[in-house]
Amino acid sequence: MKGISKSFFSYVFIALVVVVSSIILSGASDIQVLNYISPLYETLYRINYDYYGIKEVDYNKIIDSAIDGMVKGLGDDFSYYYPPSQMQEQQIEMEGQYGGLGIEVTYDSENRAVKVVSPMYGTPAWQAGMEAGDLIIGIDDQAVSEMEYMEAVNKMRGKPGSEIKLTVKRGNDILEIKLIREVIQIVPVKSGTTTYNGKKVGYILLTKFNEPVPGEIEKALRKLYDEKIDMLILDLRNNPGGLLDVAIKVSNYFLDGGKIIVSVKDRNGNITDKYVSQGNNYSNYPKVPMAVLVNNGSASASEIVAAALKENGRAILVGQNTFGKGSVQRGFPLSNGGTVFLTIAHYLTPSGKDIHKVGIKPNIVVEETATTRKDEAKSYTLTEIGVDVQDPVIKAAINELLKKVSK
């Protein structure tokens, strides 16, 4: 046993626990479990006893790479591994020393790239014109395919004001995009009104489903209703989602009590949770015609709200097909300080549809056009904004709602 580092067997134990747990959960027999584990143990053993460069071996990196590889091997773009160092990165970010680009991303296992779920409104990525579905294949001339997923994510973070170059694949085109990192300060709820053909339009732009949103939505709604709006538009375009309970609370503001918002189906096909609307507090206000704006950057919690309002007949959907992120992830802490996030369930719409990798088709399809994003971004930290009636999606929604108002 000479030459074995003191921590060697602890690393082996961590790796084996991860493998054993996943295999046992899959229902494999004891013999199968041993067969799966043996090659991993043998590889670690040979590295420790026979590898020439043993003095330079970083066991933390080996184990992180092994776990990351196992999770990627699932072929599930929404399951991923956070190494222990990621917790330190998050702490630094919380202290405001690190900036970012303002994009929600996932791992694309097929292309071995980082896939953009959505650029957040007003952020550097949004201003640079990045789009949902873009594949980030290079970061500062380093190939993403040679990085662990979280390594790539961390490389996109950095000191505010520092420059980064992304190599992006969009369809058949390869783009080089230079961005300047910023401290991302998202104001999740913005609202405004406008008058169109003699009717008052209320507009709410929701950019993220985080903790402050329900309270901010309530404030915005009260203000809009007090201004006696004739119709309401909820803009969920490029909203990557967020917290499930926030999506439920937001849906409650628009649905009558007793309406199904979303159900959760486990891997055995069983419905484990069903969320039903408790109703809203706006019985004294008229229920005005409503539209929800979506595009392929509307994901996760955005899709829960969009489907709930569409399928319960509360609103029409206008825009483009949504992203199709209908899966539920849970984090499982590991003994090495890392965390494995695995898909454990799928969301179902009120009618029972599984929209994962399918998305939600709008009632009215409208193609978006290029916008002057840098000019619009000036307002991204404001809570009150104007309503751009020249936006083809907003315009289409207003024209459709006018038909209902006129009845």
Q: Tell me the pLDDT tens digit for each residue of 14-41.
A: 555 555 555 555 555 656 666 777 888 8
Instruction: Report domain 189-324+359-405's class.
Output: alpha beta
Q: Where are the domains of the chain?
A: 8-75, 96-180, 189-324+359-405
Provide the CA 265 distance to its chain's centre, in angstroms: 19
Q: Which residues contact 124 (CB under 8 A, 6 or more apart)?
A: 101, 102, 179, 180, 181, 182
177/407: higher pLDDT: 177
Q: Are 201 and 231 in contact (CB under 8 A)?
A: yes
Helices 149-156 and 84-94 meet at what angle, rounded to 10? 20
41: closest CA among 17, 22, 61, 21? 17
pLDDT at 89: 57
Range list of H helices, 26-58 = 30-50
Query: Of the residues 191, 263, 277, 300, which is catalytic?
Result: 300
Confidence of residue 3 (pLDDT cuts 50, 70, 90): very low
Assess whether 227 carries a catalytic annotation. no
Confidence of residue 85 (pLDDT cuts 50, 70, 90): confident
We find that the CATH architecture of domain 96-180 is Roll (2.30)
Q: Are 387 and 201 in contact (CB under 8 A)?
A: yes
273/336: higher pLDDT: 273
Assess whether 176 carries a catalytic annotation. no
Structural element, H or E, at residue 10: helix 8-25
Query: Of the residues 190, 259, 265, 325, which is catalytic?
Result: 325
Residue 197: phi and psi, rounded to 5, are 50, 40
184/226: higher pLDDT: 226
- Mean predicted confidence (pLDDT) in 193-221: 93
Q: Distance (Å, rounded) from C-alpha 362 to C-alpha 364?
A: 5
Assess whether 109 carries a catalytic annotation. no
Query: Of the residues 191, 265, 311, 327, which is catalytic?
Result: 311
pLDDT at 407: 61
Confidence of residue 172 (pLDDT cuts 50, 70, 90): very high
